[in-house]
Structure 1
Amino acid sequence: MNQSMNQLNELIEITRDGQHFYQHALTEVKDTELQHLFRDLAQAKTHIIQALSVKVAANHQQPAQGGTLAGSMRELYTDTRARLGDPDKVYVEQLEQMEDRIVQAFEDALSAAEPDVRALLAIELPKLRACQERMRKLRGDL
């Protein structure tokens, strides 16, 4: 597998971490507005994963199917913290950090990507930044 496709698969895994985390969090929080927001943000991640997967598959490679160990560990850590405190606040805080991680990974990849991959990342990055901003605003409101 070439470097560009490895890079895209890493981004798929990191984005899937966010998708899974939002899906999990929406079952853990009680606030219906948060549940709706988390569902929307999980869906946004799904669309980005699909776009990246299409590019990987078009290059005759297998798109990544899972997430990362770091993503699983963050979810476990958050579940533990949520049991000890305010679940809504804990999930919002941790999901905002997850958004930061995803955006940083895309920005890092963008600077080193080949032109065709750079074009794809440039399309998807504003969507991720919008998700990140929604979480930042939400965290600031809590």
Structure 2
Amino acid sequence: MSTAKTQLNELIEITRDGQRFYQHAAEEVKDNRFIALFLDMADAKNELIRDLSVEVAQEHEEPAQGGTFVGKMRQLYADTRAKLSSNESATYIEQLEEAEDRILHAFEDAMQSADPKVQALVAQKLPQVRAAHDRMRALKRDSY
């Protein structure tokens, strides 16, 4: 597999962590506002994954299908904290904002060190990634 495709697959895996975490959080919280928001954010991650996967598939390579160990552990940690918290929504928001930090940093790192083809796609998607990050950061700030 080429370096570019490896880099894209890493972005896919990290983004999939976020998608799965949003989907899971939507199933766990009871506040309808957050359920709708988390589902919307999961859909945005799905769209991003599709766009990255198309690029990998165009090179006749297999797009990554899984997530990462770190992503799974973050979700488990959030579940544990939420069960012990008096405000489970705030706990999930805090952890989802940290997941957005991870996604944003991965995309920013790709802009600095990735193959030029990957950089071009990342540059196109970076505003969407930053908007999702900023949305969760604002929600976290407003939740406390």
TM-score by length of 2: 0.96
Q: Name 1:124's counterpart in structure 2.
A: 125
**1:70-81 residue pairs with structure 2 within 5 A?**
70-81=70-81
Q: Name 1:104's counterpart in structure 2.
A: 105
| Distance in 2 separating the partners of 1:135 and 1:114 | 29
Deviant stretches of 4+, over 6 Å: none
Cα shift readout 1:20-69 (whole Å, capped 9, x = no counterpart):
00000001111111111101110110000000000001111100000001
**Number of positions where the alignment pairs a residue of Structure 1 with one of Structure 2:** 142
- TM-superposed deviation, 1:141: 0.7
| Distance in 2 separating the partners of 1:94 and 1:42 | 14
| Distance in 1 separating the partners of 2:106 and 2:50 | 17
Q: Name 1:56's counterpart in structure 2.
A: 56
| Distance in 2 separating the partners of 1:64 and 1:35 | 27
Name the aligned partner's letter for residue 100 of structure 1.
Answer: D
Name the aligned partner's letter for residue 106 of structure 1.
Answer: F
| Distance in 2 separating the partners of 1:120 and 1:70 | 24
Cα shift readout 1:63-118 (whole Å, capped 9, x = no counterpart):
00000010001001110000000210100000000000000001001111222211
Q: Which runs of 5+ in 2 are unaligned?
A: none
- TM-superposed deviation, 1:125: 1.0
Name the aligned partner's letter for residue 116 of structure 1.
Answer: K
- What is the CA RMSD across the aligned residues, in angstroms? 0.7
Q: Which runs of 5+ in 1 are unaligned?
A: none
**1:20-59 residue pairs with structure 2 within 5 A?**
20-59=20-59
Q: Does 1:137 align with 2:127?
A: no
- TM-superposed deviation, 1:123: 1.0
Q: Name 2:89's counterpart in structure 1.
A: 88
Q: Percent identity over the alignment?
A: 57
Name the aligned partner's letter for residue 24 of structure 1.
Answer: H
TM-score by length of 1: 0.98
